[in-house]
Structures are given as C-alpha cells and as structure tokens.
Amino acid sequence: MKNLLKVLSVLPSIFLVSFAPAQVKKAASFDGKFFDKTAMIDLTDSTKEEINSYYGDIGSKTGSKLLSTLYTTLSKDNHFLNYGSGLSDVGKWYQITDRNWSISAPVDPATFKFITSGKTEGASSFYLYNMYMSDAANNDKTKAISNAVNGYSKDESLTAIDYTSYKKPNSYIQVDKEHVWAKNHGFKVTVTDNKGNTSDSFVPGAPTDLHHLVAADHNTNSAGHNDYMYGEVDHNKAKTIYSYLGDGSTEVSGWLDTSSETFEPTDEWKGDVARCLLYMATRYSNKLPNNTQAEPYLYLTDDRSYSDDSNTTFHGVQYNLSTLLSWHEQDTVSNYEIHRNNLIYKNVQNNRNPYIDHPEWARRVYDVNYIYDASKEQEPTTSGTDAPTTPSDTNTSTNTPSNTNPTTTKEKSTGIPIIDFLIEKGVPMPVIIGIVITLVVIVFILVVNGVIGSKKKKKRKPSKSKKKKNK
C-alpha cells in the first residue's frame, strides 16, 4: 500500500509535464481568422457534421422560403475583406483562398507570411488557380501565374516570365480580381478625384465577397466577361477570347457575342461561374427600398423585362437563370471549389456557398417547377474520395488541395488502436506523445515498486521460523 501511495503521489507532477498544452507558434505579421493577428490560418476542410450544423434543419422548404432561410444563415456575422492594400485585402488573401495547392510551395500556418511584393524572394513560390485558364495550364508551372507578376515590366524580347529580372513578355500576363457578378449590375460606385479622374470605389461587402470575387486571367476578364451576362452563344459568330499564359502562349477561354452582350466561358468553368452567381443571388436577396453598395439586392432570372435600378437603390439583375442551373449540373463541384469554400468560411468571411455544399439545393431554390422529394437530398459534399469532380478533372491529385499540403494530410495508421483513436479525434501529436511517455513511466514505477510484476514474487516460501511453529 505504501508503494502504491508513493506512485500516486508523483502522478500529478508527471501529468503536469506530459499534458501541458503544446506551445503554439504565432504567425508573424499575419491576419488570421477574422483578421485577428494572434490567430493562425486554418487549412482543414469542414466535416459533414460541421456543415450540417451550419445550415441546421431546412426541412422541406423550397423556393422563396428556402431562399429566405439560407439568406439568414449566410448573412450572419460576416467579415469581409478590403479591396485595396494591407494584410486584410483581397489580393493578399488569394495566396491562400485561390492558391493552387498542387504546384505551390507548402504552407505552414505557424510561419506563413503574405508575399507583399512581386519583387521579393518567394514571389515565384506560389501559383493561383486562375479562372478561365484550363486545368492543364493551371497545373503547369511554366504556364501558371500568380498576381505577384502583375507589377513586372514588359520585355518583348522574352518568350516567358523571367522571375529573376521581374519581367514578362507582354502586359496581358496578369491576374485580375474578377467580379463574377459584374459590379455594374448592382453595386458599382464611381468616384472623381480633384483632377477629374474617375475610378471605381469598393467597400467591404458584395464588392469584395470572395465567393464571387476570384483570381482570373486578365484578358478574359476585361475583353471577354467585362460587364456582360454569362450565357451560351454561337461560337461561329462570336468573338473568340484568349487567356495569356506564363510561357507566352495563349489558349481559348471563351466566346463573346457583343450583339446580345453575352459571354460564354469554356466548359470546365461553367459550373464554377453558375455557383458564384447562385450564391450572390442568395446572400444578397434582401430587397429594400434603398439597398447599399455593401448590401445590394441581386436577382437571377430568365425574364429580360427586369433590369438594373439606378445606383441609388443598388438593385442588380443577371439573366439566363435556366442556363446557369444547367451549367451547375453539367460541370459538377470539384475538390478545388470545396477546399476554397472551406478556406473562405474558416479564415475570412464566416459564411459558405450552399450550392457547393449541397448542389441539389439549386433546384430547390431557383426552379419554379421543383417538387420536394426527400429521396433526392444528399449528404454535404466534402473533399476526399466521395467528393464529385468535374469531367475535366481526370487527375484527381490536382484537385485535392487538402492532400497536397503537409499541414492537412491525415496521419497514417500506427497499428496501435489507442494512438490511432486519438489521432482520429484530432488530438495533437505532442499531447499523444506525452500520454505515451506518461503511461510508460507509470508502468515502470509500478514494476520497480512491486505493485505489478510476475506471479513468482507474490508466492513467497514460509520462513524457517514459521516452519518450526507449524511443527
């Protein structure tokens, strides 16, 4: 008993050492979740349970009732980025939210710093997954680009980007902040300086909402989409639009029909575009007599009798709803979209795109002929083997960003049930090591003090004095 008490007396100090919280490094000069500089970035994807908890029970709601429910969820406690300079601006955050995780340098949340200039070491270490550029180009380091090259000077003697001299063969090689819901349709504001120069003004909110403000090829944004509607056009009569790649080459990125003011992107981006627009028409579906630039009223429809109101009311319209619903179903959700959705939710805006999480909800909200059928409801899409991929995503490794960064890779099985259980529950490895060491020390102390041991020690022979007495 005394030996056992001795063991128990040292346990508190052992536990204090082994289970003391691991010291967490703070990322220097980094705005973490909701721009808290003491927080680290979260690269993990939400589980099905977490996604279900976020939306709650929507029951059998359809149409305007479901739209209203989703608006309430999506608009709660949002935190929007700034458009301009600073650590909380859109361009900096593209290094995380729009990062091509397959070919960029790994990210360590404890030491990550935004690259603030294209003319610094590390500017060529990350690439963005740019809208309108093909999967093949985005996953080729010679063709892929990031917004770090936007400030590089033009040198027509070059055939590709020169990261050492900070030069590029033409000025078209650039990353734009693409408003998939064009700002002219609901939230554009133009300001004039004291010299008479005009420019667009952006406030945090709809103009900077990352669920539709994406990194994209500059030429396709300016010469193709611009302020036009998305839709289908006759390719033989429309103008062909091109993306400009890092190696100086070009590729077809869409078709523009100026007579109908319609732009059609290539097939592999149609679903992404549709889900951006479906989100915007849901998040900003609160119609007021006078909405604001940050909180406009946006509406998707096939009815062209609807039009944008003046900037004083901030009411905007996008057409071709039926086409967008078809694009959404034909070009299904990719793992890249899923991961981007989670990065925005966990680190920046505190809201999600419901049509990435639940693609079947698009019809429930926007199809007037939809009849609720519980059997068609699906579990939320999450990254991994059960996540849908686009038809062009033949190489799944290029569309599973959470599996290419060491910070988000799942630990392999150790073969020891208790350790595997703790890993599965998300217990940090330093804590697990502390638990194992503590258990080993406890067993060692118990053995040394005779509390546990072989059966031979417990079966002692009677002493000679006891034998005499028995006689």
Count the Cβ atoms, other than its own, within 10 Å of residue 200. 13
Of 189, 178, 182, which is closest to residue 292 (Cα–Cα)? 189
Helix, strand, coil percentages for the chain (3-state, nearest 5) = 35, 10, 55
Q: How far apart are CA 64 and CA 71, in angstroms?
A: 10
Q: How far apart are CA 45 and CA 209, in angstroms?
A: 20
- Confidence at residue 437, expressed as pLDDT on a 0 to 100 scale: 78
Q: How far apart are CA 387 and CA 363, in angstroms?
A: 20
Q: How far apart are CA 175 and CA 393, in angstroms?
A: 23
- Its sign, for the CA torsion 400, 403, 407, 411, is positive
Check residues 197 and 219 and name the one with the higher pLDDT.
Answer: 219
Q: How far apart are CA 154 and CA 158, in angstroms?
A: 9
Chain center to CA of 135: 18
Chain center to CA of 414: 30
Question: Is residue 284 a contact partner of residue 298, using CB atoms and an 8 Å limit?
Answer: yes
Q: Which helix (H) or strand (E) holds 192?
A: strand 190-192
- One-letter amino acid for residue 168 of the chain: K
State the pLDDT confidence band at 432, using cuts at 50, 70 and 90: low
Chain center to CA of 346: 8
Return the minimum-mean-pLDDT range out of 77-81, 203-207, 386-390: 386-390
Prediction pTM value: 0.77
State the pLDDT confidence band at 427, using cuts at 50, 70 and 90: low
Of 334, 346, 423, which is closest to residue 96 (Cα–Cα)? 346
Check residues 232 and 399 and name the one with the higher pLDDT.
Answer: 232
SS3 92: helix
Q: Which helix (H) or strand (E) holds 297?
A: strand 297-300
State the pLDDT confidence band at 395, using cuts at 50, 70 and 90: very low
Contacts 24+ apart (CB under 8 A), 446-452: 446/7, 449/3, 449/4, 449/6, 449/7, 450/3, 451/3, 451/4, 451/7
User: pLDDT tens-digit profile of 54-103?
Assistant: 999 999 999 999 999 999 999 999 999 999 867 679 999 999 999 999 99
Percent of the chain at pLDDT > 70 equals: 77
- Confidence at residue 246, expressed as pLDDT on a 0 to 100 scale: 98
Q: How far apart are CA 182 and CA 209, in angstroms?
A: 12
Radius of gyration (Cα) for the chain, nearest Å?
A: 29
What number is the average pLDDT over the span 27-47? 76
Contacts 24+ apart (CB under 8 A), 433-439: 434/17, 434/18, 434/19, 434/20, 435/18, 435/19, 437/18, 438/14, 438/15, 438/18, 438/19
SS3 177: strand
Q: How far apart are CA 147 and CA 217, in angstroms?
A: 10
